[in-house]
């Protein structure tokens, strides 16, 4: 006998809440790490009261966005080849696709009189793999967000694209940009959020100005 639809809905709601909890915990750590990284690059003292305050506020915003809209800003490369951060309801889409897949498997099993143990196990294994990939990408994006927010607080206006040195399978255009200077609000920095990108922004420090 197949579980009633409301049981499946409740199960996925619990899964969504657990996933959001995990992402939110990672978010706080990533934002703080990004701010610490920026402070080190700027060679300025760490102000953990300020860092923690901003991390708490940003993490709350992030959680509310996930809960209310089922997604977050992600980096996509447009038809013009430019990377931009745009909102996508990836969490809602992922859950809806899984629910539809599980429902179809259960219906087929009922028609055929079989137990879909392997089919469901495959779905849940893929779900776990996807969740780990999403968590890795989101953590990287939040780390960069923390770094750039610190740069903005210190009134940094430009940065230099830097390579950390030899690493596996770098993107050719990322290597070509090494040493080039861009405005801090240039869309190029969204490329840092792409999977397996190891490059970073080195701030161009203007010693003539001080933050408020």
CA distances from 83 to 6, 78, 186 (A): 40, 6, 10
The closest of 141, 192, 190 to 162, measured between CA atoms, is 192
Query: Hey, where are the domains in the chain?
Result: 5-204
pTM equals 0.78
| Phi/psi of residue 159, nearest 5 degrees | -145, 160
For residue 165, what pLDDT is reported?
79
Question: What is the pLDDT tens value at each position of the chain, 212 positions in all?
Answer: 444 556 677 778 888 888 899 899 889 899 999 999 999 999 998 888 888 888 999 999 999 999 999 999 988 888 887 788 899 999 999 888 888 888 888 788 888 888 777 777 777 777 776 777 888 889 999 999 999 999 998 999 999 999 887 777 888 889 999 999 999 999 899 999 988 888 999 999 875 544 44
H or E segment to which residue 137 belongs? helix 117-153
Q: How far apart (Å, rounded) are the C-alpha atoms in residues 71 and 63?
A: 10
Q: What is the model's pLDDT at position 129? A: 67
At 203, phi and psi to the nearest 5? Answer: -70, 140
Identify the pLDDT of residue 205: 85
């Amino acid at each position: 006998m197949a579980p009633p639809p409301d049981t499946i809905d409740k199960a996925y709601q619990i899964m969504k809440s657990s996933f959001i909890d995990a992402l939110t915990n990672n978010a706080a750590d990533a934002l703080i790490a990004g701010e610490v990284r920026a402070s080190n690059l700027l060679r300025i003292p760490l102000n953990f009261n300020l860092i923690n305050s901003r991390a708490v506020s940003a993490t709350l915003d992030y959680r509310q966005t996930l809960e209310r809209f089922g997604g977050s800003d992600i980096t996509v490369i447009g038809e013009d080849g430019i990377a931009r951060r745009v909102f996508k309801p990836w969490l809602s889409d992922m859950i809806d696709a899984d629910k539809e897949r599980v429902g179809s498997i259960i219906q087929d099993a009922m028609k055929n009189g079989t137990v879909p143990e392997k089919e469901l196990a495959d779905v849940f294994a893929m779900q776990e793999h996807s969740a780990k990939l999403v968590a890795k990408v989101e953590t990287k994006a939040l780390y960069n967000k923390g770094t750039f927010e610190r740069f903005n607080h210190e009134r940094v206006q430009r940065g230099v694209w830097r390579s950390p040195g030899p690493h596996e399978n770098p993107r050719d255009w990322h290597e070509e940009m090494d040493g080039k200077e861009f405005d801090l609000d240039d869309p190029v920095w969204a490329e840092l959020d792409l999977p397996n990108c190891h490059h970073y922004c080195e701030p161009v420090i203007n010693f003539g100005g001080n933050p408020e």
